[in-house]
Amino acid sequence: MKITETAIPDVLLFEPTVHGDSRGYFIETFRQSHFTERGIDLEFVQDNQSLSSQGTLRGLHYQLKRPQGKLVRAGAGSLFDVAVDMRKSSPTFGQWVGVELSAENKRQLWVPPGFAHGFYVTSQSAELIYKCTDYYDASDDRSLLWNDDTVGIDWPLVAAAPLLSAKDEAGKRFEDAATYA
């Protein structure tokens, strides 16, 4: 497994070794020691999966009282995955990183607790599969506005406007959003 830091060093890109032949392939998608060796002492407690059509943007979501770390990958299709640093004490506060995740490239992104997370589907449809370090809590769910000018995410939109949920349309601007210490 090749593991590299992104422009925000706490956000890691995992690129698994693919063992393939004429029958197909095998990849290891998770190994706890990769986290432990980097001083990340968190336990994954929940796995999630979503299917979305092209042009769907989900996010940018985070939980304030029960922050979730997420290890995300595309099980099918391709998407642009984004993490925004919401930690006031961080030197990268308010900065974002985005990477293409696809079933073809098999990459995974580690989004640590303290980050808002979202993705945009660039293929006909995409399946996002992710592990979480804390349980989902609807009463603690927050949404940062996907197109906030302060954050300035450069989404690779395939249409003029993304498909959004009502919650995501009403996301908070960065200057009004709750943040971590």
Rounded to 5 degrees, φ, ψ at 46 are -150, 135
> Would you call 19 a catalytic residue per the annotation?
no
Q: How far apart are CA 57 and CA 174, in angstroms?
A: 18
Active-site residue, selected from the candidate residues 34, 130, 135, 136:
130
Active-site residue, selected from the candidate residues 19, 61, 62, 136:
61
First to last CA, the chain: 33
| Helices and strands counted in the chain (H then E) | 2, 13
Residue 93, SS3?
Answer: coil
> Would you call 130 a catalytic residue per the annotation?
yes
Token pair for 93: 């506060």
Tell me the Ramachandran region of residue 114: left when phi exceeds 0, alpha when psi lies from -120 to 50, beta otherwise: left
> Active-site residues: which are they?
61, 130
